[in-house]
């Protein structure tokens, strides 16, 4: 199925999630028609309520399309595998979400410091709660902009220092 879709346009699949990049309405039409045929062939069903079409507007000046196309809604934003994509592909909304989550994480950092958890316990907390989300976000968002890359690297550094309880060195007088 994926091979047939990739012959039309670049398509990525992970488990039951699928994303494709079509460069025009003709290609989109051909892709959706092939998707429908392939789904019926392999007895899959597309949940059109959870599916969307995002028309990329690189300069943000073009008007947003509304309504639907072949049963799929046009949307300005869409969350794919935990990352919010918008029609301008600038990730501003996703960055704001990450900053807000980081701020909330800093508020709960007292648990790791005040309760005197061992290094191993802190590492377990990091792995179970935050590592996978951060590493995935970094992998997807690192290419978006230099500012975003710099911010994410600094947060990784701060998190590592906090996790290992490393303090800034005291200058000798």
More confident residue, 83 or 144: 83
- pTM attached to this predicted model: 0.56
Complete edge-to-edge strand list for the sheet that includes strand 52-53 = 52-53, 72-74, 68-69
- pLDDT at site 132: 65
What average pLDDT does this structure show over 113-137?
66
Domain boundaries of the chain, sorted by first residue: 2-86, 92-163
What average pLDDT does this structure show over 75-103?
78
What average pLDDT does this structure show over 85-90?
76
- pLDDT at site 138: 65
How far is the C-alpha of 1 from the C-alpha of 142, rounded, in Å?
30
Residue-wise pLDDT tens digits, 22-38: 888 999 999 999 999 99
């Amino acid at each position: 199925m994926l091979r047939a879709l990739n012959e039309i346009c670049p398509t990525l699949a992970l488990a039951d999630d699928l994303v494709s990049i079509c460069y025009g309405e003709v290609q989109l039409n051909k892709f959706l028609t092939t998707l429908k045929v392939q789904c019926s062939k392999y007895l899959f069903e597309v949940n059109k309520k959870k599916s969307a079409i995002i028309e990329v507007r690189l300069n943000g000046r073009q008007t947003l399309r509304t309504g639907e196309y072949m049963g799929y809604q046009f949307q300005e934003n869409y969350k794919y595998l935990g990352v919010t994509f918008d029609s301008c592909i600038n990730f501003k909304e996703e960055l704001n979400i990450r900053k807000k989550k980081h701020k909330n994480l800093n508020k709960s950092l007292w648990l790791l410091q005040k309760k005197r958890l061992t290094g191993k316990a802190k590492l377990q907390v990091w792995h179970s709660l935050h590592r996978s989300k951060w590493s995935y976000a970094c992998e997807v968002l690192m290419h978006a902009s230099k500012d975003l890359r710099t911010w994410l690297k600094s947060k990784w550094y701060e998190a590592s220092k906090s996790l290992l309880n490393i303090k800034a060195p005291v200058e000798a007088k």
